[in-house]
Amino acid sequence: MKPEGLPTRIALARDGEHSYCGHRVFADLLGPETMTGLLWLAVGGRRLAAEERAVLDDAAVALSVADPRIWPLKIARIAASYGGSLSGVAAGMVMLQDAAVGAWSFGEAARLLDRVADLSEGPDGARRKRVCELVHATPRLPGFGVAFRAQDERVLALRAALTSRGWNSRRYMKALDLLADVARAERRVEPNIGLPVAAVLLELGLELGAISILSVALLQHMFFANAAEGAQQKAAVLRSLPDECVRYAGAPARLSPRATQRVGSRRVP
Amino acid sequence: MTNDTGPLETAPFPEHLTARAVDSRTSPRLHGFDVEGDLAVNYSFAEMVVIALTGTPPDRVQGQAAEVAFAFWLPAFAADAPAHAAGLAGLCGTSTSGLVACGATALAEQSRWVVAAHQGLLAYLEQGSPVLPPEFTSAGADDDMAVQRMRSAVEAEVPFLAQRPTRTAAVLGLLHFAGLRGAEQLEASLTIARLPGVLAEALLVPHGRIREYPMNLPPFDYRGQR
């Protein structure tokens, strides 16, 4: 039986011209479109206006903490240490799928933010009460928690950039501010960069199911940067740490049951 | 105002990486067992996989069951995603490491998919219920014959295999019998067992012979504006 055609909205290669997500590559996209715009088109399904692309670029720039010590980037660095840059990129990025640490989790932050936005209709007091109840009913708040410092400087920077672009009165920005305020008061937790990035993506109209993958796409440059340098360096210390840097904490030395049997049987005359 | 110190300099971190399974300070030990002087002498590769994933050596009956389960799971068909993807990587002329990484990634996903689709079976195996859930029951002669061959190959009587499971359910049941439990151990063991099969297929794909690949299998139907 011949398989049926798989529907795709992504692309069609044609003679002399190609289609990409509903647009002619050479006639429509070449020239005015940007890399950021192509990424959004890939997942978001529409072309962004220049000012929208600029906000997306703000998010990507604010995300840029590319320190090679940060766990997912360290993975890229380690995997690239034999000289394969794309192996480093792939190892670092594939790890993000469903991971609690890293940009995939921004999707959960977006879901929470979407619920808050729905609760944010109506009078002020009632809104806050509903969000308060939600915050108390959610054991682990996605988009919250800042490691090793009091506040996430990326949140402050992106929030300031969004303010300068006049985004404060937008639906998900207001939800972000309300949620952050309530969580700070009720749970003493601070938002991390996942929350404002999720707000930006929701504001631009991205579906909840696409938030995670686009969030990862926005920080791909950090994986490329670390994998490229890591592959070039081929650092021996990343290929194998010195023995004295490793502490064994597993089971103590022991004989297997079969070895024990052998030893025992040799003792029996 | 910025300076050269940040939270990663000031926060307290351990100075050592912790190894939890392999002790390499002298001759390598796996979960405490001497690999070269003990495991290599007394255990097969499949049994060592069980030890690696569980920390516990299987007995001879369990070990032999693991051998059979691994053998039954090894074949990777060219039509299935892991071998298909790895074969395409070979066609594109990638490095061996690129091909292995490509196949292993798809294979790990296949393992996750298979185990997720058998969550009900895992619950059944844990509880030891008398009746196999119908969705894991043999669909016909192919499954029945494969499971019959499996029963012949396994030295022990594994009661679960008498309940007419599907071939895949039988492999998972046998791995469970061998001591592998939970999604993590089962996904890992399925991936290990099948990787040679994926590579067997993919390494034979000639590099660069792009005209020999069925480009429109399956066909795609572009729904966007042209």
Residues of A in contact with B225 (CB under 8 A): 19, 22-23
pLDDT band, very low/low/confident/very high, at A4 (cuts 50, 70, 90): confident
For the stretch A57-72, pLDDT in tens is: 999 999 999 999 999 9
Name the pTM for this structure: 0.94
For the stretch B165-222, pLDDT in tens is: 999 999 999 999 999 999 999 999 999 999 999 999 999 999 999 999 999 999 999 9
B155 phi-psi bin (left φ>0, alpha ψ -120 to 50, beta other): alpha
pLDDT at site A269: 47
Contact B23 A255 (CB under 8 A): no
For the stretch A133-151, pLDDT in tens is: 999 999 999 999 999 999 9
CA distance B76 to B196: 8
Contact A246 B19 (CB under 8 A): yes
pLDDT at site B3: 64
Read off the pLDDT of each residue in B78-84 and give the average, rounded to a whole number: 97
Tally C-beta pairs within 8 A across A and B.
123
Residue ranges of chain B whose CB lies within 8 Å of a chain A CB: 6-8, 10-11, 15-25, 29, 31-34, 38-39, 41-43, 51, 55, 57, 59, 95, 97-98, 101, 105, 217-226
On the CB side of A139, CA atoms within 13 Å amount to: 0
Residues of A in contact with B11 (CB under 8 A): 148
Lowest model confidence (mean pLDDT) among A178-187, B4-13, B142-151, B177-186:
B4-13
Concatenating the DSSP letter of every residue in A125-189 gives HHHHHHHHHHHHH-SS-TTB--SSSSS-HHHHHHHHHHHHTT-TTSHHHHHHHHHHHHHHHHH--
CB A44 within 8 A of CB A10: no
Instruction: Report the Cα–Cα distance between both ends of chain A, in Å, rounded.
Output: 69
Q: What ipTM goes with this model?
A: 0.92
Nearest CA-CA distance, residue A266 and chain B, Å: 15
pLDDT band, very low/low/confident/very high, at A267 (cuts 50, 70, 90): low
Q: Which two tokens stand for residue A206?
A: 């991205």
